[in-house]
Structure 1
């Protein structure tokens, strides 16, 4: 198979794929007859071929995919007028803290936000596929450690966490949330009118318990194709 035919096959597979394709997926297209370096060269050529169009080829955390350019979102949204799920500022701030400080426990998040983290907030992020438990801290109670997922990066159109806007360690939770919006989390997901959730007084992880003993408590990128439901 010559290079031009191989590029056509690769382009077709990427357009028809229902989730990002990894290099391993692409090699299987050619029965492993094309190496990774050759595939990267073809991907670079395809990226250039699609410059100036309404669709672009991008590298994400889970692989490569075609997606619409950000400036096309206004028009594409007219085809699908249904509104996406809306999240409270508390949810967005919690997501931002996890994204920028991961891995973190609920106690870590509470230290930064200054309020108790309701179980509903974590559940919303887990249900969205943006946050997952990756382990437990080796402290009394072994609290769960939360981190963002590949789906989170895919939905923001990012290949890695290093592509998030750079911040110094002194930023507050609201500032982290604004940076996350700048990185690609649509502002339309934020519902400022939503009343704050009631404090989750039933939860007290190991980190929070330690503090309670010593101190008083404190008060896209629109994809062309649907994002993957789980990491490739």
Structure 2
């Protein structure tokens, strides 16, 4: 198989995929005949080929996908004028703490925020697929340790946690997170209902996209 054919196969698979594709999944297209390094090179070539088009090929935490370019999303949103879901500041503060301090227990979060965290906030973030329990602290009561998921990074269009704004560059973690959230697509048209006055999350764009860094084969 020549390079042009391999690129066309990758391009077609990525355009038709409903979710980001990992290198492992893309290797299946060629029955393992192409190495990960070769796949990465072909993906880089595809990125350059789409440089001046309405879609861009990006690498996220869970794999590669085509998505609309940020400057075109305001136009695409006109096709989906429904009100996007919103999240209260309390939800964003809790998510920011987990994103920047993970893994953390609920007690850690409450100590940082200085208030008791409503169980509904944790459930809302879990239902959204942004956080998960990754273990338990070996102390009295063995409290659950929370961390962000791949979905968290995918929804913000990030490949790894180190792509988050550094804390020294922002006034507060929640402000950095809110700014990212406002730019990020929501992967589904539905979501948790919001508190009044919360920051909105824009609706999902076709073929678009806070969790731990991506696997090395992504």
TM-score range, shorter chain: 0.7 to 0.9
Distance 2:132 2:5 in 1: 41
- Deviation string 1:34-85 (CA, Å, 9 cap, x unpaired) is 1111111100000001112221000000000001111111111111111222
Q: Does 1:185 align with 2:181?
A: yes
**Superposition CA RMSD, Å:** 2.5
Where does residue 224 of structure 1 map in the other structure?
A: 206
Relative to structure 1, the CA distance from residue 222 to residue 71 in structure 2 (aligned partners, 3 Å threshold; closer, same or farther) is farther
Corresponding residue for 1:73?
73
Unmatched 5+ stretches in structure 1: 195-219
| Alpha-carbon separation, structure 1, partners of 2:35 and 2:182 | 37
Q: Does 1:5 align with 2:2?
A: no
Task: Report Cα offsets for 1:143-188 as digits up to 9, x if no partner.
Answer: 01110000000000000000000114xx88xx11111123x21179
Could you tell me the TM-score, scaled by structure 2's length? 0.85
The offset of 1:224, in angstroms, is: 3.1
Whether the 8 Å CA contact 2:18–2:207 is kept in 1: the answer is: yes
Q: Secondary structure at the match of 2:26?
A: helix
Who is 2:190 aligned against?
Answer: none
Shift of residue 225 of structure 1? 2.0
Q: Is the 8 A contact 1:14 1:66 kept in 2?
A: yes
Report the equivalent of 1:144.
144
Q: What is the Cα deviation at residue 96 of structure 1?
A: 0.5
Q: Which has the larger radius of gyration?
A: 1
TM-score w.r.t. length of structure 1: 0.80
Q: What is residue 29 of structure 1 aligned with on the other side? A: 29
1:203 alignment partner in structure 2: none
Which SS does the other structure have where 1:185 is aligned?
helix
Match of 2:39 in 1: 39
- How far, CA to CA, are the matches of 2:105 and 2:8 in structure 1? 47
Structure 2 residue 56 is the aligned partner of structure 1 residue 56: yes
Task: Give CA deviations for 1:169-222 in whole Å, capped at 9, x if unaligned.
Answer: xx88xx11111123x21179985536xxxxxxxxxxxxxxxxxxxxxxxxx795
Name the CA distance, whole Å, in 1 between partners of 2:23 and 2:206.
Answer: 20
Q: Matches of 2:125 and 2:95 in 1, distance apart? A: 7
SS in 1 for 2:94: helix
Preserved CA contact (<8 Å) 1:110 1:117: yes
Aligned ranges 1:95-110 → 2 under 5 Å: 95-110=95-110
Q: Is the 8 A contact 2:22 2:62 kept in 1?
A: yes
Residue number in structure 2 paired with 1:214: none
